[in-house]
Amino acid sequence: MAAIRHKNTTPELLVRKALHALGFRYRLHYRSLPSTPDLVLPRYRAVINVNGCFWHGHDCYLFKLPATRTDFWREKIRSNMKRDMENVEDLLDSGWRVCIVWECSTRGSIHRELFPFTAQAIAAWLEGDEQFIEFTGGESAADIPKYGFELRESVAAEQPIPYGQPNDQ
Ligand SMILES: [Zn+2]
Protein backbone atom coordinates (compact mmCIF):
# COMPACT_ATOMS: atom_id res chain seq x y z
CA MET A 1 0.00 0.00 0.00
CA ALA A 2 2.71 2.49 0.90
CA ALA A 3 4.64 1.34 -2.13
CA ILE A 4 2.89 3.77 -4.44
CA ARG A 5 3.34 6.78 -2.23
CA HIS A 6 6.65 8.48 -2.64
CA LYS A 7 7.48 10.26 0.58
CA ASN A 8 9.32 13.54 0.96
CA THR A 9 9.03 14.50 -2.68
CA THR A 10 9.91 17.98 -3.87
CA PRO A 11 6.22 19.00 -4.13
CA GLU A 12 5.60 17.65 -0.63
CA LEU A 13 8.53 19.59 0.80
CA LEU A 14 7.22 22.74 -0.90
CA VAL A 15 3.80 22.31 0.73
CA ARG A 16 5.33 21.56 4.12
CA LYS A 17 7.62 24.56 4.01
CA ALA A 18 4.86 26.95 2.90
CA LEU A 19 2.39 25.77 5.57
CA HIS A 20 5.07 25.84 8.24
CA ALA A 21 5.88 29.44 7.28
CA LEU A 22 2.19 30.28 7.78
CA GLY A 23 2.37 28.87 11.31
CA PHE A 24 0.75 25.48 10.76
CA ARG A 25 2.15 22.44 12.50
CA TYR A 26 1.50 18.92 11.30
CA ARG A 27 2.41 15.28 11.72
CA LEU A 28 4.09 13.55 8.81
CA HIS A 29 3.16 10.20 7.29
CA TYR A 30 0.84 9.37 10.13
CA ARG A 31 0.33 5.62 10.06
CA SER A 32 -2.75 5.42 12.25
CA LEU A 33 -5.00 6.72 9.49
CA PRO A 34 -6.11 5.06 6.26
CA SER A 35 -3.48 5.59 3.53
CA THR A 36 -0.86 7.10 5.89
CA PRO A 37 -1.51 10.70 4.81
CA ASP A 38 1.48 12.89 4.04
CA LEU A 39 0.46 15.65 6.45
CA VAL A 40 -2.02 15.37 9.31
CA LEU A 41 -3.34 18.37 11.24
CA PRO A 42 -5.37 16.89 14.09
CA ARG A 43 -6.42 20.29 15.39
CA TYR A 44 -8.14 20.99 12.07
CA ARG A 45 -9.29 17.38 11.68
CA ALA A 46 -7.56 17.60 8.30
CA VAL A 47 -5.19 15.57 6.19
CA ILE A 48 -3.21 16.74 3.19
CA ASN A 49 -1.87 14.44 0.52
CA VAL A 50 0.57 15.66 -2.09
CA ASN A 51 -0.02 13.44 -5.11
CA GLY A 52 2.40 12.78 -7.93
CA CYS A 53 0.43 13.18 -11.16
CA PHE A 54 1.84 10.05 -12.80
CA TRP A 55 1.47 7.61 -9.91
CA HIS A 56 -1.96 8.83 -8.99
CA GLY A 57 -3.27 9.06 -12.54
CA HIS A 58 -4.07 12.76 -12.62
CA ASP A 59 -5.94 13.97 -15.69
CA CYS A 60 -3.33 16.60 -16.55
CA TYR A 61 -0.43 17.27 -18.88
CA LEU A 62 2.06 15.57 -16.55
CA PHE A 63 0.34 12.21 -16.94
CA LYS A 64 1.33 10.06 -19.89
CA LEU A 65 1.24 6.28 -20.03
CA PRO A 66 4.66 4.87 -20.85
CA ALA A 67 5.06 3.61 -24.42
CA THR A 68 6.41 0.28 -23.20
CA ARG A 69 4.49 -2.16 -20.99
CA THR A 70 1.53 0.12 -21.48
CA ASP A 71 -1.06 -2.39 -20.29
CA PHE A 72 0.89 -3.04 -17.12
CA TRP A 73 1.09 0.66 -16.34
CA ARG A 74 -2.55 1.28 -17.19
CA GLU A 75 -3.62 -1.40 -14.71
CA LYS A 76 -1.14 -0.24 -12.10
CA ILE A 77 -2.27 3.38 -12.25
CA ARG A 78 -5.91 2.36 -12.38
CA SER A 79 -5.53 0.35 -9.17
CA ASN A 80 -3.68 3.25 -7.54
CA MET A 81 -6.57 5.55 -8.45
CA LYS A 82 -9.10 3.12 -7.07
CA ARG A 83 -7.18 2.85 -3.81
CA ASP A 84 -6.89 6.65 -3.61
CA MET A 85 -10.65 6.97 -3.94
CA GLU A 86 -11.25 4.35 -1.27
CA ASN A 87 -8.79 6.03 1.06
CA VAL A 88 -10.45 9.42 0.64
CA GLU A 89 -13.84 7.86 1.31
CA ASP A 90 -12.54 6.11 4.43
CA LEU A 91 -11.05 9.34 5.74
CA LEU A 92 -14.22 11.34 5.06
CA ASP A 93 -16.32 8.60 6.64
CA SER A 94 -14.14 8.77 9.75
CA GLY A 95 -14.77 12.48 10.05
CA TRP A 96 -11.51 13.69 8.56
CA ARG A 97 -11.31 16.49 6.01
CA VAL A 98 -9.18 15.81 2.97
CA CYS A 99 -7.03 18.09 0.84
CA ILE A 100 -5.17 16.84 -2.23
CA VAL A 101 -2.39 18.97 -3.64
CA TRP A 102 -1.48 17.71 -7.10
CA GLU A 103 2.11 17.82 -8.25
CA CYS A 104 1.10 19.95 -11.27
CA SER A 105 0.13 22.82 -8.94
CA THR A 106 3.76 22.95 -7.77
CA ARG A 107 5.63 22.44 -11.04
CA GLY A 108 7.19 25.06 -13.28
CA SER A 109 8.55 28.47 -12.39
CA ILE A 110 5.15 30.21 -12.52
CA HIS A 111 3.49 27.77 -10.16
CA ARG A 112 6.42 27.94 -7.78
CA GLU A 113 6.40 31.72 -7.87
CA LEU A 114 2.67 31.68 -7.16
CA PHE A 115 2.82 28.94 -4.56
CA PRO A 116 2.51 31.33 -1.60
CA PHE A 117 -0.99 32.08 -2.89
CA THR A 118 -1.79 28.39 -3.17
CA ALA A 119 -0.53 27.95 0.39
CA GLN A 120 -2.85 30.73 1.53
CA ALA A 121 -5.74 28.94 -0.16
CA ILE A 122 -4.79 25.72 1.64
CA ALA A 123 -4.64 27.68 4.91
CA ALA A 124 -8.10 29.13 4.26
CA TRP A 125 -9.44 25.62 3.65
CA LEU A 126 -7.82 24.37 6.88
CA GLU A 127 -9.53 27.09 8.86
CA GLY A 128 -12.88 26.52 7.16
CA ASP A 129 -15.20 23.53 7.31
CA GLU A 130 -15.21 22.25 3.72
CA GLN A 131 -14.80 18.46 3.66
CA PHE A 132 -12.76 18.03 0.51
CA ILE A 133 -10.58 20.19 -1.72
CA GLU A 134 -8.11 19.66 -4.55
CA PHE A 135 -5.45 21.97 -5.90
CA THR A 136 -4.37 21.46 -9.47
CA GLY A 137 -2.15 23.28 -11.91
CA GLY A 138 -3.03 24.38 -15.41
CA GLU A 139 -4.60 21.77 -17.63
CA SER A 140 -1.64 21.88 -19.97
CA ALA A 141 1.83 23.36 -19.93
CA ALA A 142 0.50 26.12 -22.19
CA ASP A 143 -2.15 27.05 -19.59
CA ILE A 144 0.34 27.84 -16.88
CA PRO A 145 1.21 31.38 -17.97
CA LYS A 146 -2.50 32.09 -18.38
CA TYR A 147 -3.23 30.86 -14.85
CA GLY A 148 -0.47 33.05 -13.53
CA PHE A 149 -1.89 36.04 -15.36
CA GLU A 150 -5.41 35.39 -14.08
CA LEU A 151 -4.11 35.12 -10.56
CA ARG A 152 -2.30 38.43 -10.73
CA GLU A 153 -5.40 40.10 -12.18
CA SER A 154 -7.62 38.70 -9.47
CA VAL A 155 -5.24 39.63 -6.69
CA ALA A 156 -5.04 43.14 -8.13
CA ALA A 157 -8.84 43.28 -8.16
CA GLU A 158 -9.07 41.66 -4.70
CA GLN A 159 -11.30 38.96 -6.08
CA PRO A 160 -11.30 35.35 -4.91
CA ILE A 161 -8.27 33.55 -6.26
CA PRO A 162 -9.13 31.35 -9.27
CA TYR A 163 -5.83 29.56 -9.17
CA GLY A 164 -5.92 26.37 -7.18
CA GLN A 165 -9.62 26.48 -6.56
CA PRO A 166 -11.25 23.17 -5.81
CA ASN A 167 -12.50 20.95 -8.57
CA ASP A 168 -15.79 19.45 -7.57
CA GLN A 169 -15.28 15.77 -7.19
ZN1 LIG B 1 -1.56 16.94 -12.35
Report the separation in Å between the CA atom of 160 and the middle of ligand 1, taken as the mean of its atom positions: 22
Long-range contacts of residues 81-87, Cβ cutoff 8 Å, at least 24 apart:
81/56, 81/57, 83/1, 83/4, 83/35, 84/35, 84/51, 84/56, 87/34, 87/35
CA of 30 to the centre of ligand 1 (A): 24
What is the pTM assigned to this prediction?
A: 0.79
Q: 82-135: per-residue pLDDT in tens?
A: 999 999 999 999 999 999 999 999 988 878 888 888 899 999 999 999 999 999
Would you kindly state where each structural domain of the chain is located, as residue ranges?
Answer: 2-156
Interval between CA 136 and ligand 1 midpoint (Å)? 6
CB of 106 within 8 A of CB of 73?
no
Q: Which residue has the higher pLDDT, 155 or 10?
A: 10
User: Under 8 Å CB-to-CB from 136, ≥6 apart: which residues?
Assistant: 58, 60, 102, 104, 105, 164, 167
pLDDT digits (tens, 9 = 90+) for 4-57: 556 788 899 999 999 999 999 999 988 778 778 999 999 999 999 999 999 999
- If you measure from the C-alpha of residue 62 to the centroid of ligand 1, how many angstroms do you get, rounded to a whole number? 6
Distance from residue 33's CA to the centre of ligand 1 (Å): 24
CATH classification (class only), 2-156? alpha beta
C-alpha 103 – ligand 1 centre gap (Å): 6
